[in-house]
Every structure is written in C-alpha cells, then in structure tokens.
C-alpha cells in the first residue's frame, strides 16, 4: 500500500513539473478537458437549478393534487375547436363533488380573474393578482401566514368582504404599520384585511404570492356572475393520503359526467389534470436537456482526451532514459504503468477542477443577475465533474502508459542518452 502512495506522490510531482516546465503546451492540452468539464457541469447545474426552481414553486401542492377545468395541462386528442366549446366548471359542481366524492382531504373552487388595482387611503398598488378561492384553499396550498388568519367556511360561503394580502402588497400599502382590520378598496368596494402571507420570493416565471391577494370566491361570483368567460374557474382536489389516484380520478370523472348528463359515447367536456403528470413532464424535459448537453460537451472532452494523450506521449519520450534506469533497478512493468496512468489522471483532474472553478464563478454571477433564481453547483455535480475528469485521464493515458511499461530497459537507457 505504501509503495502505491509513494507512486501517487511521484506521479503528482511529475504532473506538476509538466505544468511548470511546459506551461503553454500543458495549458493548451488541458484546455479541452477544462472546457469539456465546464460545459458538462454548467449544463447539469443549470438544468438542476431550473428543475429545483420549478418544483420548488409547486412544492406547496402535493403531487397527487388534481385540478378539474375546461383546459388541459398537456396535449390532447380532442380538436382545439371542440375544447374551446367546453363549459367552465361551476360552483354547483364544486358543491356536488364536495358532498358526493369520498376520500377527499380538501376541495376548493377558484376563479382566475386576472389583476386589479388596490387602494388604501392615498396609496395605490396596480396589477395585483387576485385569488378568488374557498376556505379549503388554505389547506391545499399550505399557505404560511405572517399575521392574522385565513377566512373561514362561514365567510367563504356568505362572501364576506375580507381579504388576505401578499407580503409585498402589504408592504406597499401599509409599510411598517399593522395592516390587520384596515380597509382597502377594490372593485369599488371595501374589504377588511384579516391576514398577511409570509414573504415567498419571486418565482421562476415571475409569479409569486407576494404580489397576490386572496378573498372569498363568492364575492367575485356576485361581481362577475357564473357565465363570464373572462373568469376562468377550476376545482382543486387533494385526495386523502394513500388513495389510489387512478381509481380516484376514474370515480371523479364518472361523477362529473353523470352530473353533466353526458352519454357514454360522448367525450368528457372537462379535463382532470394531475400535478404528478406535470412533474413527470418536467423530469422528461430536463432529462432531454441533460442528454443534449452531455452530447455537445462530449466533443470538448474528446479534444481534451487527445490533449492529455499528447502530453503523456511526450512525457514518455522525455523520460525514456529514466524509465530504463527504473526498470534496470527492478521496477516492474505495472509500476511504470501505474506511474504514467496516475500522472494522466492527475493532469485530467487538474483540468477538471479548473472547469469546476469556472462553473462556480459563473454560478455566483448568474445568481446575482437573475434575482431570486438561484443557480446552484451541487456537491453531486462536483463529484460527477471530478469522476469524469479522472475517467478521461485514465482512458487518455492508458496507451502511453502501456507503451512506457513495455520499454526494454537497455534500449530505453541507450535511447535516452
């Protein structure tokens, strides 16, 4: 074991000497490995960061969560013209499912009505995202409150004029003062503030609850009515834990079809979207991005491998006399083989570490310029970069190492003189 540690130390010294004595040649040869590792790890880190951000924005919702609406998340076999004729899900359907659907942890009816302007005394905030929901939305989204409370079932059903503010909205309207029980104006009506959400930060696509407000859906139903196409409705259902989702969706679909009196040969004029399917779609897309990035980066690594091989062939030639002396003193072929293999691996790892360092610098800069989006270089990606570098060095150095180990000691000493 000690001999191999000594061998590793000598190989490291040879690699450092190669860097010191032939700076330009070694730099150009390692450049391919550096660029290759930089490309691979940059792609992996970017895709991982993107995937983490997307899933983080969905983390408040369980993957089993189901959204029933007239739109679908993914592709559909139903023609677009036919899908556009589908009716919105109604509040009556929500109430029917709430009473007749089993194995439900929580069920919510929401209206997407776009953005609105909110006023408090002389202060105004425009383009505020309106969340018109029922009381169960709090449990489905697992909202976090910094102050106050969410509205209850009684307030939800009666359409009481109460409102919960996002962190940024509360800051813009009230600053450091307490917003609870204050009245704001919206839709020409007054709403009492009963809660403020904790700060969430901007999402990947700009959406955030910090710039949103939540109020009972029945308030908006009175304003917009139930047949207004500018207000998109949806029913959000969170099944009980451990429920077979396929069976649950089949039962849900059948109950809603029966409620809408659809015939067996008619297609369902609604879509049952599951977040798990959306998460799988994200995984599929990021997997393809990773694969494409690896293919492109592979060409840089190929060039880097040739560079390492070139260094090692030159190193073998320059140290032919030394190899002959080592073998004449009893060094075995495998000792010479491992010596050059270790040297090739160490050179490749040095190039890879430079590439990782560049990715780390880029990740810091990217995080600074992309606001709340965090570009992360994970320990796993660093491990992958180091291992890929070592493998490139091993593959590139194997032929020069074999050539060095097979040299005849007498011819090697004579050639090197």
Q: What does each of the 417 residues of the chain score in pLDDT, given as a tens digit?
A: 566 566 566 666 666 665 566 666 667 667 777 877 787 777 777 777 766 666 555 545 556 788 999 888 767 778 888 888 888 899 999 999 999 988 888 999 998 888 888 998 888 988 888 889 999 998 888 788 999 999 999 999 999 999 999 999 999 998 888 899 999 999 889 999 999 998 876 554 445 788 889 999 999 888 877 777 778 889 999 888 888 888 998 999 999 999 999 998 888 889 888 876 555 666 666 677 667 766 766 776 777 777 778 777 877 777 777 777 777 766 677 777 777 777 788 878 888 888 888 888 887 777 666 555 567 777 777 888 788 888 888 888 888 888 877 777 666 666 655
For residue 192, the SS3 value is: strand
> Within this chain, do residues 210 and 264 fall inside the same structural domain, yes or no?
yes
Q: What tokens appear for 13 in the block?
A: 């010294």
Q: How many CA atoms lie within 13 A of 303 on its CB side?
A: 14
Residue at 82 is within a domain: no
Same domain, yes or no: 242 and 317: no
Whether the Cβ atoms of residue 166 and residue 159 lie closer than 8 Å to each other: no
Domain end call among 209, 243, 269: 269
Domain boundary among 269, 299, 325: 269
CA distance linking residue 63 with residue 83, whole number of Å: 25
> Could you tell me if 318 and 218 lie in one domain?
no
Cα 294 to chain centroid distance, Å, stands at: 18
Residue 409: which domain range? 1-58+283-415
Whether 79 is covered by a domain: the verdict is no
DSSP summary character for residue 111? E
Nearest residue to 283 via CA among 62, 45, 65, 54: 54
What's the pLDDT at 14?
Answer: 62
Bin 259: left if φ > 0, else alpha if -120 < ψ < 50, else beta: alpha
- What integer pLDDT is reported at residue 206 of this predicted model? 47
Picking from 244, 269, 294, the residue at the C-terminal end of a domain is: 269
Same domain, 256 and 290: no
Which pLDDT belongs to residue 257? 92
The answer to the question of residue 70 being in a domain is no
- Same structural domain for residues 148 and 177? yes
What pLDDT does 57 receive? Answer: 56
Helix, strand, coil % in the chain, rounded to nearest 5: 55, 15, 25
> Pairing between strand 271-274 and 183-186?
unpaired
Q: Are residues 322 and 263 in the same domain?
A: no
Specify whether 165 is located in the same domain as 293: no
Residues whose CB is less than 8 angstroms from the CB of residue 101 and which lie 6 or more positions away in sequence, other chains included = 107, 237, 251, 252, 255
pLDDT of the residue at 12? 64
Do 130 and 246 lie in one domain? The reply is: yes
Kindly report the number of other CB atoms within 10 A of residue 343's CB atom: 29
Tell me, what's the pLDDT at 360?
Answer: 83
- Tell me, yes or no, whether 329 lies in a domain: yes
Residue 274 domain flag = no
Can you tell me the distance from the alpha carbon of 57 to that of 201, in angstroms, rounded to the nearest whole number?
Answer: 10
pLDDT at 154: 93
Q: What is the pTM of this model?
A: 0.60
pLDDT value at residue 93? 92
Measured CA to CA in angstroms, residue 362 lies from 11, 40, 115, 359, 389 at distances of: 31, 13, 36, 5, 20
- Number of folded domains in the chain? 2
CA 50 to chain centre: 4
What are the residues whose beta carbons fall under 8 Å from the beta carbon of 86, sequence distance 6 or more?
Answer: 70, 269, 270, 271
């Amino acid at each position: 074991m000690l001999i191999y540690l000594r061998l590793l130390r000598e190989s490291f010294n040879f690699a450092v000497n190669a860097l010191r004595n032939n700076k330009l040649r070694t730099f150009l040869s390692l450049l391919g490995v550096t660029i290759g590792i930089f490309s691979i790890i940059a792609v992996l880190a970017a895709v991982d960061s993107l995937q983490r951000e997307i899933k983080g924005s969905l983390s408040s919702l369980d993957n089993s969560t189901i959204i029933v609406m007239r739109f679908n998340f993914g592709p559909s076999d139903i023609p677009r013209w036919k899908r556009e004729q589908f009716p919105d899900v109604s509040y009556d359907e929500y109430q029917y499912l709430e009473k007749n659907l089993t194995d439900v942890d929580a069920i919510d009816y929401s209206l997407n009505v776009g953005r609105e302007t909110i006023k408090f005394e002389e202060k105004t905030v425009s383009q505020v995202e309106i969340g018109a929901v029922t009381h169960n939305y709090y449990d489905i989204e697992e909202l976090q409150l910094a102050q106050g409370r969410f509205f209850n079932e009684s307030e939800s059903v009666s359409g009481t004029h109460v409102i919960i503010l996002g962190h940024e909205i509360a800051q813009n309207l009230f600053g450091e003062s307490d917003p609870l029980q204050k009245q704001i104006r919206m839709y020409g009506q007054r709403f009492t503030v009963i809660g403020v959400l904790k700060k969430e930060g901007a999402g990947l696509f700009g959406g955030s609850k910090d710039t949103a407000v939540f109020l009972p859906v029945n308030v908006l139903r009175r304003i917009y009515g139930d047949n207004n196409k500018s207000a998109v409705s949806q029913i959000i259902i969170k099944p009980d834990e451990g429920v077979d989702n396929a069976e649950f969706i089949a039962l849900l679909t059948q109950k809603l079809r029966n409620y809408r009196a659809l015939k067996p040969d008619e297609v369902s004029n609604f879509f049952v979207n599951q977040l798990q399917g959306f998460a799988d779609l994200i995984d599929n897309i990021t997997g393809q991005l990773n694969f494409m990035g690896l293919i492109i980066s592979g060409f840089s690594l190929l060039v880097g491998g040739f560079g390492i091989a070139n260094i090692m062939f030159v190193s073998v030639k320059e140290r032919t006399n030394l190899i002959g002396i080592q073998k004449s003193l009893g060094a075995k072929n495998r000792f010479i083989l491992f010596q050059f293999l270790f040297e090739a691996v160490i050179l490749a790892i040095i190039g890879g570490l430079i590439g990782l360092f560049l990715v780390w610098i880029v990740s810091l800069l990217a995080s600074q310029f992309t606001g709340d989006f965090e570009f992360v270089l994970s320990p796993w990606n660093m491990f992958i970069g180091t291992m890929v570098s070592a493998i490139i060095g091993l593959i590139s150095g194997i032929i020069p190492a074999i050539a060095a180990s097979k040299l005849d000691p007498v011819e090697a000493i004579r050639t090197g003189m």
